[in-house]
Amino acid sequence: MQDQLSALLVKAQSRFERNIQRVREMELGRTRYLDAKLAAYQEHAALLGSNTVSASLMALTESALVDLFTLNILQPNGSDEFGIIESALRCLAETLNTLIAGNSLSENELETANQQLALLEQHLDKAFPTRVQLQNLLHSLRREIETQAAEPASAEQSHAFDIDGSQLSLEERLEFLPRLKRGVSHALRLSDGLWFNWRSAQSTSEKRFLAWIDPGK
């Protein structure tokens, strides 16, 4: 009986020590993971900068990119794959910051941004094949960049209708609106000028005459 009791005590002590070791390993692993995740946030913030304002990119960061950075810190693969991801993110951050500053993108810059988005999509799909929502976030980010890139052109077009605040002639205004210019040009063959009905800020109706210089004359 004494031997059996001793054997049970030894077995219980061994089980207790294994459990304690498992808990220690779990805590150590959790601490290591949290440290890696904090480092991933810091690395990601340093890469994108503080001026990047994009709801889609921030959502993408929270749902996938920080996890990807964390995995790379915990298990560095030693390849250039993560460098490609960093390069793509850096390019997108520069693109967004350019747009936020009110500057326009050239066609080449917009094409490069779309190429970097495609690369990012490829790597995220490989790392997280079951996260379908990432495709929606990437699509939103692409649309966000394309929409902001088109805004300067829209702003320029709005100047074509700003009659009170601009000294542009009708011909110069229509340079912003080529399709409308063709229609007006055809109509103005019957006249050397055009009257516009214009309601001023004081809500008084008045007529404005904008001279038209016919290139054919």
**The overall pTM is greater than 0.75:** no
Average pLDDT over residues 47-73: 77
pLDDT for res 194: 43
* CA dist., res. 99 & res. 87, Å (int): 19
Exposed / middle / buried, residue 138 (Cβ in 10 Å: 0-12, 13-18, 19+) = buried
Q: What is the rounded average pLDDT for all residues in the chain?
A: 69
C-alpha separations of 52 from 19, 77, 149 in Å: 47, 28, 15
Average pLDDT over residues 89-101: 81
Average pLDDT over residues 144-173: 55
* CA dist., res. 161 & res. 6, Å (int): 96
C-alpha separations of 167 from 158, 185, 202 in Å: 14, 20, 20
pLDDT at 142 over 70: yes
pLDDT for res 157: 46
pLDDT at 62 over 70: yes
Least confident residue range of 109-123, 139-153, 163-177: 163-177
Average pLDDT over residues 38-50: 79
pLDDT for res 181: 52
Average pLDDT over residues 159-169: 48
Q: Record the tokens describing residue 119, joined without a space.
A: 């690369």
pLDDT at 156 over 50: no
pLDDT at 67 over 80: yes
Of 187 and 145, the one with more pLDDT:
145
pLDDT at 141 over 70: yes
